[in-house]
Structure 1
Amino acid sequence: MNLILSELKLIFRSRLSLVTLVFLFCISTLSIGLGIKELHKQQHTIESLEPLHEQDVALLAERFKKEKNGGEAGDAAYYTFFYTWDAPPAEAFAALGLRDVAPYVLRIRALGLQAQLYEGESFNPELTLPGRFDFAFVLIYLSPLFIIALLHDLISSEKQSGRLRLLGSLPRFGARSWTLKAALRYLLVFFALVTPLIIGAIYLSVSLSTLLGFIAITLLYMAFWFGLSLWIISRGWHSVTNATTLVSLWVMLTLILPTLSNLVITRKVPVAQGVDLMLTQRQTIHSAWEIPREITMQQFFIHHPEWKDTAPLPPTFHWKWYFAFHQLGDESVERDFQAYRQGLLKRQQWTNRLGWFLPGVSAQTTLHRFANTDLLSQLDYQDQIIKYHQSIRNFYYHYLFNETPFYYADFQKRPEFQPEPKASTVSVSELLPLTLLSIIFLILGIYGLSRPQLK
């Protein structure tokens, strides 16, 4: 116990160590604060837009209130927007993931859906680099630098000052002493990182299982960098050489290799942009104006035979024909849509495989999965929109194909969007790559401390 207290005093007497730990605590606190702020901002945006949307619908409904015999259902279907949203989970405060680039609010109509899903897309979100300044960013990109600052001269400073041989001559000084020194620094870095995280999780009422998942990832990722640092500093090099080598490894493992790997995955798994689906769908829709209407309806009835026996089209314009070729436009790109999604998922699979070699990639993907802010969560929101859009179409088709007038009271019958609750679905196997890398390099680091020249 006395040895631990003495070592702690030495750590806190070192200006570099003290500044490093305090600065790490400050930026960890800042990242948590910014994450909570972004969470509240997104929630406020969702809540403030909903009444504005309802006002728009109410103004449209007023037009139908004056129609005693009812109005055209097609007018209501064409002009009415429906509000969808993807509320931020509390866990997202620590790892925002794709929530800063993917839409979390989308207003849709009964028209072709593909164009509405991607008309705001101007980039491919999976290609974005580090992202916002959140806890995940601090842990993955910055914490290794603080670990390097604390460990790079742990042994070399004693050697350069001439105290290493003296320490080695002491009867109880050896690998255990170096391990104790490293372990205390490990715990101090851990508490500097995790204390703000725990406070933020309690404030937002994050589930205990998710918080423990965040803590486990932090422990494992730090263990990797401590093990790697111990192995390097046990080589017997000078402090400058240790620092240069470790920073070079940091650049390679967190910046260069992930970026190059991302480029390789992008080339290996080519995926068209969502905007390409939008353009193809719109081209199909626009071409319907040049095709005989009977042909369009026959194609529509193939997949929707329930409306086949309804009244034929009049010689003039009819809304059911208009919405029929919009649905055909969506169906014409269904294969491309599935291929697009499969391509994104395949890229995600390759990214997960990189986690077996790059600890930063493994930690980041697992953090985003715990926080429900990854690609799977984004696609889940998209699936909810698709399901909701189909219920909107079915609602209006009843009026359109049965030639039923649409009254003011019918606006209250509109289907409402009900977002499905999200739950973290991280399996133990997803932590396996990071766990193995951490154990391997931690063993190497501890083994390096047992080198004869350090005794």
Structure 2
Amino acid sequence: MIRLVFQNFIRSNSVKIGLLFLLLAGVISLFIGKQFIEKQKQNIIETDIYQKEQIAKNVEFHKDDIGLLLYYLKFSLVNEIPEITGLSIGQRDVNASIKSVSILGLEGQKYDTELTNPYNLLLGNLDFSFVLIFLFPLIIIAFTFNIISEEKESGTWRIVSVQSKTPFRIILRLFLVRFLAVLMILLFLIFMAILILSIPLDIAFWEFLGMSVGYILVWFGICFWVASLHRHSNFNAVILFSIWIFFIIILPATVNNYLVTTYPVPEALETTLKQRKGYHEKWDMDKKATMDKFFAHYPQFKSFAKDNEGFNWLWYYAMQQMGDDESAGYAKELQQKLEQRTIVSSNIARYVPALHMQIQLNEIAKSGLTNQLNFLEATNKFHEKNRLYFYPKIFNSEPVESENWKAIQIEKFSDKRYSNPLRLYFPLLVFIFLFGGLGWFNFNKNKRLV
């Protein structure tokens, strides 16, 4: 029976076109993801080469003054990009995955990013998560909106229901065939993703696959419930597309507007300007006030205190540090607001399947806001580590050749993400059982219509 139903379903030209469209869009999204990953990896290679070259050149030009040398040198930290990021690029196309910072004031450097065409950023990337979240539901709707109503409108459903003792099973078979067709496309695209993107079969991969199947089941549950209302095809199409627009466009836009209004984020530019002001105004202030604040922050460097009134690197780097210290309040406020947005959006997303999918897929692919915040925190630690390593060398006026500059390499940050299966799958399971249960209840309540 299933075989006959499947053959009858797949025979339709519209079905073939729909599946081909989904397949084509999915394959294109995989190659877009591959292109993005390759570009990022090439950037890392070029950054490594550039860091070695600029260190070598500056060491040659400033071999007599380590303080002046470290004014120019930059050290790079890389936010590692797993292959699965190619499936859900998230905010990686906006936020830089490489931070190259000197030991000068950090807040003026931390938010630097790549120059990118803003029109391209507005359109975003056609990654696999977009195809899954936006296009798969449309195909499911197209395959199921008239699954029963068309038979009733043509008069053939009455014959089917009379000949079968359990017409409800026929309905389940019709939905099962369509689910299997969509699932085959999904699994084929995931298989292609493994080959094209070289995705390892680790826990992140299985989480991504599980979320994808769950999301498809949510939309089949919604379509199953609408079919159980026993309305005509036009009504089913309108209500299903309205649900799609509500879940995919209206609700996420409303949530975003709520977050922007409730948790206004101070601009990164504000923090940068505050840092620069805190540094530049120190040129006109009493040196002792600057040094006292610096030694309060780093008491271990009091032994390097200098009494001379002229320029010295201890005072200069103390001014840089004070710029960071005086902008620390703005930086902390920025991070706290972003963290609040992340927490609130995740909590609200539990009730919005599309939004929940987007956030969780980005988290799995390490391309979400949480990853970026963790990377910025790692940048803070990386910068501080370099400062504490080079400050004594600068303040003690050590020879440039005493340091093995060739041994300095770019460093990598690996985001250690611990999954919570309940947080991933529970919201999807709630929607699956909710709409599936409502559909089952309606079909059993109106058996005479079935």
Q: What TM-score do the two structures reach when normalised by structure 1?
A: 0.92
Deviates more, 1:391-400 or 1:408-417: 408-417
- Residues 214-238 of structure 1: per-residue CA shift (max 9 Å, x gap): 1211121111111111211222222
Q: Distance in 2 between matches of 1:419 and 1:48?
A: 15
Counterpart secondary structure, 1:83: strand
- Give the aligned partner of residue 68 of structure 1: none
| Contact 2:103/2:386, CA 8 A, preserved across alignment | yes
Aligned pair partner of 2:350 in 353, 356, 365: 356
- Give the aligned partner of residue 45 of structure 1: 43
Q: Could you tell me how far 1:333 is from its partner in structure 2?
A: 2.0
Q: Does 1:383 align with 2:377?
A: yes
- Give the aligned partner of residue 291 of structure 2: 297
Unaligned 5+ segments in structure 1 are 66-70
Which amino acid in the other structure matches residue 132 of structure 1?
Answer: N
Q: Distance in 2 between matches of 1:154 and 1:146?
A: 13
- Flag the 1:324–1:310 CA change in 2: closer, same or farther, 3 A: same
| Contact 1:150/1:185, CA 8 A, preserved across alignment | yes
What are the residue-to-residue correspondences of 1:343-422 with 2, within 5 Å? 343-402=337-396, 404-410=397-403, 412=405, 416-422=409-415
Q: Could you tell me how far 1:444 is from its partner in structure 2?
A: 2.1
Which amino acid in the other structure matches residue 32 of structure 1?
Answer: L
Aligned pair partner of 2:18 in 14, 17, 20: 20
What are the residue-to-residue correspondences of 1:191-202 with 2, within 5 Å? 191-202=184-195
Q: Could you tell me how far 1:101 is from its partner in structure 2?
A: 0.5
| Contact 1:230/1:449, CA 8 A, preserved across alignment | no
Aligned pair partner of 1:249 in 209, 225, 243: 243
Aligned pair partner of 2:92 in 89, 92, 99: 99
Q: Could you tell me how far 1:425 is from its partner in structure 2?
A: 2.1
| Contact 2:84/2:199, CA 8 A, preserved across alignment | no
Counterpart secondary structure, 2:77: strand
Q: Could you tell me how far 1:209 is from its partner in structure 2?
A: 1.8
| Contact 1:158/1:164, CA 8 A, preserved across alignment | yes
Q: Distance in 1 between matches of 2:408 and 2:106?
A: 16
Q: Could you tell me how far 1:391 is from its partner in structure 2?
A: 1.8
- Give the aligned partner of residue 204 of structure 2: 210
Q: Distance in 1 between matches of 2:310 and 2:394?
A: 15
Which amino acid in the other structure matches residue 373 of structure 1?
Answer: S
Aligned pair partner of 1:425 in 395, 418, 423: 418
Q: Could you tell me how far 1:88 is from its partner in structure 2?
A: 1.3
| Contact 1:111/1:326, CA 8 A, preserved across alignment | yes
Q: Distance in 1 between matches of 2:280 and 2:113?
A: 20
Counterpart secondary structure, 1:106: strand
Q: How many residues are treated as equivalent by the alignment?
A: 444
Q: Distance in 2 between matches of 1:380 and 1:266?
A: 21
Counterpart secondary structure, 1:439: helix
Aligned pair partner of 2:53 in 52, 55, 65: 55
- Flag the 1:390–1:416 CA change in 2: closer, same or farther, 3 A: farther
- Residues 132-161 of structure 1: per-residue CA shift (max 9 Å, x gap): 211111111111100000001111110111
- Residues 102-121 of structure 1: per-residue CA shift (max 9 Å, x gap): 01122211110011012449
- Give the aligned partner of residue 117 of structure 1: 110
Q: Distance in 1 between matches of 2:252 and 2:122?
A: 9
Unaligned 5+ segments in structure 2 are none
- Residues 418-444 of structure 1: per-residue CA shift (max 9 Å, x gap): 313344422012222222122211222
- Give the aligned partner of residue 31 of structure 2: 33
| Contact 1:175/1:454, CA 8 A, preserved across alignment | no
- Flag the 1:390–1:413 CA change in 2: closer, same or farther, 3 A: farther
Q: Distance in 1 between matches of 2:61 and 2:401?
A: 8
- Residues 9-56 of structure 1: per-residue CA shift (max 9 Å, x gap): 111111111211121122112112211221111111211232123212
| Contact 1:89/1:422, CA 8 A, preserved across alignment | no
Q: Does 1:233 align with 2:231?
A: no
Q: Distance in 1 between matches of 2:413 and 2:254?
A: 37
- Flag the 1:446–1:138 CA change in 2: closer, same or farther, 3 A: farther
Q: Distance in 2 between matches of 1:133 and 1:179?
A: 33
- Flag the 1:171–1:396 CA change in 2: closer, same or farther, 3 A: closer
Which amino acid in the other structure matches residue 169 of structure 1?
Answer: V
Which amino acid in the other structure matches residue 447 of structure 2?
Answer: P
Which amino acid in the other structure matches residue 264 of structure 2?
Answer: P
Q: Distance in 1 between matches of 2:184 and 2:36?
A: 24
- Flag the 1:16–1:132 CA change in 2: closer, same or farther, 3 A: same
| Contact 1:78/1:111, CA 8 A, preserved across alignment | yes
- Residues 159-211 of structure 1: per-residue CA shift (max 9 Å, x gap): 11111111111233411110111012112112212311233125514233222
Q: Could you tell me how far 1:414 is from its partner in structure 2?
A: 7.0
- Give the aligned partner of residue 77 of structure 1: 70
Deviates more, 1:444-453 or 1:43-52: 444-453
Counterpart secondary structure, 1:419: strand
Which amino acid in the other structure matches residue 35 of structure 2?
Answer: K
| Contact 1:139/1:218, CA 8 A, preserved across alignment | yes
Counterpart secondary structure, 2:413: coil
Compute the RMSD of aligned alpha carbons. Answer: 2.1
Counterpart secondary structure, 1:154: coil
Q: What TM-score do the two structures reach when normalised by structure 2?
A: 0.93
| Contact 1:36/1:93, CA 8 A, preserved across alignment | yes
Deviates more, 1:428-437 or 1:279-288: 428-437
Q: Distance in 2 between matches of 1:19 and 1:120?
A: 41
| Contact 1:151/1:229, CA 8 A, preserved across alignment | yes
- Flag the 1:110–1:374 CA change in 2: closer, same or farther, 3 A: same
Q: Distance in 1 between matches of 2:55 and 2:139?
A: 54
Q: Does 1:147 align with 2:140?
A: yes
Counterpart secondary structure, 1:258: helix
Q: Could you tell me how far 1:395 is from its partner in structure 2?
A: 2.4
Which amino acid in the other structure matches residue 100 of structure 1?
Answer: D
| Contact 1:20/1:146, CA 8 A, preserved across alignment | yes
- Give the aligned partner of residue 437 of structure 2: 443
